[in-house]
Amino acid sequence: MEQIVKCWTFRLTGGKPVKVRLARTPELQHDGRLTLWQVMMTDKMAAYLEGFLIGQDITVIRHAEVEGPEQKAERDMAASLNEDRVYRTVRCMECIFFHPELPMDCGYEGWQENIITTFMEAHQKAREDIQACPIHGDG
């Protein structure tokens, strides 16, 4: 069974000062007051660490960053993109109009005019990106 590693946040208060050494992480220290740790580990290891800390009279609140359905869909879409894909300009991926699901990767070319107008009116970055674009602006 595969062990999934997550980014865990531990909020520690009170208790005894401790130093903890885990594989592939820097030494973690708690001075007995308030400490925040962010550590990459499995659920099992996080539960073990929490148990150890509670045994040192430390109050522990822990949680893992959990990916929502929208984040998962976006990550899956990005992962499915061809690694060898070449975009038309070096600026494309940083542009507010970048849209990798469109044939030309460009919302400025593929979106409805009213959406483009709204973007241009509402976002300074949209105006800057179009002006700097080597294809659509002065860039």
Kindly state whether residues 60 and 15 are assigned to the same domain.
yes
Q: 119: domain range?
A: 79-132
Q: What is the pLDDT of residues 14-54, one digit of tens each?
A: 999 999 998 878 899 999 999 999 988 889 999 999 999 99
**Residue 105 lies inside a defined structural domain of this protein:** yes
Tell me the pTM: 0.49
**Residue 74 lies inside a defined structural domain of this protein:** no
**Residue 72 lies inside a defined structural domain of this protein:** no
Q: What is the pLDDT of residues 81-116, one digit of tens each?
A: 666 667 788 888 888 888 877 777 888 988 889 988
**Residue 50 lies inside a defined structural domain of this protein:** yes
Tally of structural domains, the chain: 2
**Residue 84 lies inside a defined structural domain of this protein:** yes
Kindly state whether residues 40 and 16 are assigned to the same domain.
yes
SS3 per residue for the chain? CCCCEEEEEEEEECCCCEEECCCCCCCEEECCCEEEEEEEEEHHHHHHHHHHHHHCCCEEEEEECCCCHHHHHHHHHHHHCCCCCCCCCCCHHHCCCECCCCCCCEHHHHCCHHHHHHHHHHCHHHHHHHHHCCCCCCC
